[in-house]
Amino acid sequence: PQIGDGRRVAVIGPGFALVNPEIIDRSGLMPSLEQCKSRSWYTTMKVRSFSVTVRSMEPDGSERVDVLRGFPAVVAQHEIDHLDGKTLWQRPV
């Protein structure tokens, strides 16, 4: 949404992308020092869920469910926020 492209793909790591991701469950909390490539000079502390369950799609259209914990969970939450049109500096702690 922030660059005018409506496709919903979040790259979480090398070879790991989520297509049409949706967080369906969260648990725990953890502090997260975050920075965003769109404003690389902006770093802030946020509180994120320690664990998230994400429903997304495989390239063939089948559903997949991933449980992410720790840093991968933070990355997923950060990137899904972007897909929902929320930037890091707009998100409350």
In sequence order, what DSSP letters do the residues of 15-71 get, joined into one string?
TEEEEEEEEEEEEEEEEEEEEETTEEEEEEEEEEEEEEEEEEE-TTS-EEEEEEESH
Q: Catalytic pick from 34, 58, 63, 79? A: 79
Give yes or no: 63 in active site. no
| CA 19 to mean position of chain CA atoms | 11
> Any idea which residues carry the catalytic annotation?
79
